[in-house]
Structure 1
Amino acid sequence: MAQGGNAPLGSARVVVEVAAPKRLDVSGLLLTAAGKVRSDADFVFFNAPQGPGVTHRPAAGGTPDAIAVDTAAVPEEITRIVVTASLDDRRATFAGTEPTATVRDADTGRELFAFTPPRLSRETALVVVEVYRRGAEWKVRAVGQGYANGLAGIATDFGVAVEDAAPADATADAATGSSPAAPAAPPVPTTPPAPTAPPTAPPRPSAAPQGSATPPPMPSGSPAVGKITLDKGRVNLVKGGSVSLEKAGKPFLASVRMGLGWEPAGRGRNIDLDASVIAFDAQRAKIDTAWFMKLSVFNGAIAHSGDNLTGKGGGDDEAITVHLSGLPPEVCGLVFVVNSFSGQKFTDIKNAYCRLVDAATEEELVRFDLAQSEPHTGVAMCKLVRQFSGEWVMTALGEYVDAKTARSMVKPAAAML
């Protein structure tokens, strides 16, 4: 098919495959006549693979990521299914990459149409094709519209509530060759920025749990009796336990990485969870969130890996790097959370943990292993709280809630500060 071309679909059940030399994530959005989703449930992707009449099929055995459409099962108010592709490596662009969409009959596998968008450069995500209604007939159109602000830009354009997404006008229409790139997230600094002044009032934490080694924050200059620091090496925390990120009475760390990991509980079933960090001010109001659809906040002072990392002490499924001295002074608390967007309970996983690593030396400093799980879809793993003195204290939380996204964790996380 040529870009902008359309044709009768010719089959009631089709699969739209999108393949490229680079690994892709393929998604589908169910749109009404207004060009918007009815709710976030109309966004079908790897973490939410089922929608009414639309299914995400993950890449396997040489077959690419795909969206399957059963037109007979699509609700009447849905007029279009938009099929998108974004790069799995969120730092890459489509420059030099030619993704090809192949529309196949879902029952026979027969190829019906193929389309390769031309002239790609700075785009990081594409609307590749759309399957749409015209009266009683279903048709397919070759689109090839590029976005420079990734999948979040596409999702926002079509009404998905993406938290703090980039402006929707950062689209690039490949048909015209225009590609106005949205400002890219600044790179993570190689050396920490100059320290900022400590806030005048940190969050008011709840009283320290019984057995916690660290009392509530105290004014600068007050003695901290019996607190655990990093002087004796790695610290293993239990739920409610705290450790000050100090050594020899001074702030020890400028940049830390929080690694989070887990394993399927049995039968080899994959568990795809999302790790995020929510930043709060002194009044426990949310300032920003770093998560899989927004990998960098505060000019790179917090950066989400977006990838699996392997380091000392075991393999992390996801990791978040925090340049403590680069955080704005209004950031007083960070809560690290993990969510199951597709709805699996944490009783379906085992060996969940979080660990704090010195980002400069890769030395593991603090570890918290969840000893027990609960049948919920969200867990607050730990928090970092800035004290009156400017030091940071990490506390193991291990608190479970019913929340499938970081956005739903904001209120319960604020209450844990």
Structure 2
Amino acid sequence: MTPGSNIPLTAARVAVDVAAPVRLDVSGLLLTADGKVRSDDDFIFYNQPAGPGVAYRSGNGTAPDAITVDTSAVPAGIEKIVVTASPDAAGQTFQGIEPTATIRNADDGSVLATFTPPQLSGETALVIVEVYLRNGVWKARAVGQGYTNGLAGIATDFGVSVEEPAPAAAPVAAAPPPPPPAPVAQQQAPPPAAPPAAPPAAPPLGAGKINLDKGRVSLQKNQTVSLVKGGRPMLSQVRMGLGWEPAYRGADIDLDASVIAYGPKRNHLDSCYFGKLSILNGSIKHSGDNLTGEGAGDDEVIMVDLGRLPQEATGLVFTVNSFSGQKFTDVAKAYCRLLDGATGEELVRFDLTNAEAQTGVIMCKLIRQFSGEWEMTALGDFVKSRTVRGMVKPSAQAL
């Protein structure tokens, strides 16, 4: 699964295993329609391993911990069960130890879906997946929401009372004698200047998401923009323009732009490139190969009809390769830009500012959210591959 994607559950009882290279604390919270627990009894974890319809199972350090949800036994009024995790070691973050959630049929153990949240760094706790009720149908959604204040931050967000240890009482001491009065003629020194204020704390992961309300957006690496604008319908057709110039005057450089389509389990659906100009029943089309990179404007354009994309297409990754073997250090001004297919208005632009001596680059990704809207994330990740075939696996990992 990719962030925001969802699947209907084909089993009444599901288990969510959460595995990582280190031991994790896994928990489940039963939430009402307002996104809060009814009481602390709805917080299921190692010290409170059972609740109505939800249970915690320890892996004892040799297997993943798991949360099991029996949807037939979940009380009325509970609309969502979120599954969370945090590293067991105090202060450890998820950087380099990304967890994988495996959703299974709890009765026969068969795998229904897997999800690994991408690009984690300073998070010390995660909401990984949620099991939720929508229009009478139970579903599972990939989330990947991070917190920097540990499991306590998640619990507090969802209405669980978190008791902080009381500070030790200060010893009672006799009041010090009052200071002698200063001589009348003596000027008192001004109080020392206050130290500079500490910078504001970084917002939690996902806070302040960029949108198109203020017009064209220029993205930096790993930034995400929601392709919606207040008061307007969702975009139905977009054009992804990719361009580059040779780093040396008079040189030709033949790069190939492609888009790789994936399903909710990061499964490869198809690839659109110069050798296959139309995929997914014509919902994605390629403009054709540019052999030199010379000239103003986009070198290659990929049209995407978002409204015609099949439902199983939840992620699109746009890549550029050097089939002739030239490195991206020989390229100047590589960029990608997203345009409204109906009006031609440029919506989002990402300029590749740093180059590496590689033959492939993952420029950006478009991810369909459960609400139906799409989000674009700038990537700029270099890989060793001269063809789109070699980009399929690293692009799936970038989802």
Largest Rg, 1 or 2: 2
